[in-house]
Amino acid sequence: MSTMNVLLLGSGGREHAIAWKISQSSLLSKLYVAPGNAGTDSLATNVDLDPMDFPSIGRFIRKNEINMLIVGPEAPLVEGIIDFFQDSDKFEGLVTIGPRKAGAMLEGSKDFAKAFMARHNIPTADYATFKSNEIKKAKNYLDERTPPYVIKADGLAAGKGVIITSDREEAESTLEDILLNNQFGDAGSQVVIEQYMEGIEVSYFVVTDGDAYRILPSAKDYKRVGEGDTGPNTGGMGAVSPVPFVDAEFHTKTLNQIIIPTIKGLKEDEIPYNGFIFIGLMRVGSDPYVVEYNTRLGDPETEVVLPRVKSDLLHMFDALGSGMLSEYDLQIDERAATTVILTSGGYPGSYEKGLNIIGLNNEPDPKEGIVFHAGTKTSRGKVLTNGGRVIACTGLGANIEKALERSYKLAGSIDFGKKQYRKDIGQDVITKEE
């Protein structure tokens, strides 16, 4: 196997974690990240390219003899970046990691995903979809539901397009905000109203070439900004892996009722698929139900999942690209991993950028923890804040409690103005772990 030049698209904690993992590969010749952040800057060459500007990315690929393109975020996938490169005769031999637009619709449209699940008998909550001219129908549908009401914008809304409320008036005004007042722009051209599911959430990550699949470690993320899961949703305030309640029985059910039917369903619908499927699950009683699909790795879950992958990630991508995934030996570290996200004061509302980050040179022993950059940039030799979620403090340990100790030690050693973070990540599963 010859070494390869790799281009990774994205700028968050997920991309830093992917870059960190593939930089350890024996197959890597040169790694570029576009646009990247201050963390990827120390592992790779950051390139000032917009992940949505496909022609410019194409020119870069040809000029720098790129062998593999890995797409981190969802928006380029939903816009058809993989189709752009696969359907052109100028990029023969380029390995692309990520689904084509047809597969990315599992994330790009909640209505599409729900209809897919219904077609293939994959367990999920009951639902109905309404367009902007059906607002009266949508409000009448609420009468058939008992609260809490779950209302979702159909398209990509950066993790913020789901509203859960027990208040009927709020549910109606949410429908108006999305369908009539364009709260989420085009993403809200239709809404999905779902039955509320009571249970515990868990994320599963599957990599598939459309036939073979490998299951990465499970994880649980913490979406709300405040302790005790209060306040508005965010892109994620922390995560833990493995998830203690994912026992052999639950795993087998997930495999047989959800993972295998999803991969078979894609095949039956003639949707080629080459990449990750993130399955957000709800455990209701002892049964799994799909909350949502994402068609890439999740963030901040990547920051706890990849540190637990012992085998060479680039080898896996290579196997994925060449249809040889069935030959790939995925080895998982038995230790637990946890991450605590340091965010800018005011996040997920408005916040300041450009604050100096101190304490980053206190790098932990790599066996105990890793600092992943999310919203950072380098300026005049300093690392500055450049987003709402700034740093992911990942700890590794014999169990979740030990890993969290290390995450929080890291979180305490890094500082910037108005830093905030949740102090209760993983506490709900520690008690269950005993």
Q: What is the DSSP string of 379-424?
A: ETTEEEE-SSEEEEEEEEESSHHHHHHHHHHHHHH-B-TT-B--S-
pTM, two decimal places: 0.94
Place of tokens 């189709």: 83
| Structure confidence at residue 259 (pLDDT) | 97
| Structure confidence at residue 220 (pLDDT) | 95
Are the C-beta atoms of residues 82 and 99 closer than 8 Å to each other?
A: yes
pLDDT in tens, 188-230: 788 899 999 999 899 999 999 999 999 999 999 999 999 999 8
Domain ranges in the chain with CATH number 3.30.1490.20: 127-194
Cis peptide before 300 (omega within 30 of 0): yes
pLDDT in tens, 128-175: 999 888 888 888 888 888 889 888 988 887 666 788 888 888 888 888
pLDDT in tens, 315-327: 999 999 888 999 9
| Domain boundaries 4-100, CATH class | alpha beta
pLDDT in tens, 39-98: 999 999 999 999 999 999 999 999 999 999 999 999 999 999 999 999 999 999 999 999
Give the chain's radius of gyration (CA, Å): 21
The angle at the Cα of 209, spanning 81 to 315, to the nearest 5 degrees, equals 90
Q: How far is CA 301 from CA 79, 131, 385, in A?
A: 24, 33, 21
The angle at the Cα of 204, spanning 199 to 207, to the nearest 5 degrees, equals 160
Place of tokens 């779902």: 194
Q: Could you tell me the CATH superfamily of domain 127-194?
A: ATP-grasp fold, A domain (3.30.1490.20)
Measured distance CA(354)–CA(384) in Å, rounded:
5
CA 390 to chain centre: 16
Is 90 exceeded by the pLDDT of residue 391? yes
Average pLDDT of the chain? 93
Place of tokens 């005004």: 173
Helix axes 313-321, 13-22, angle to 10 degrees: 90
Are the C-beta atoms of residues 98 and 75 closer than 8 Å to each other?
A: no
Listed in sequence order, the residues at least 6 apart from 401 whose beta carbon sits closer than 8 Å to its beta carbon are 426, 430, 433
Token output for 108? 């790009």
| Structure confidence at residue 352 (pLDDT) | 95
Domain ranges in the chain with CATH number 3.40.50.20: 4-100
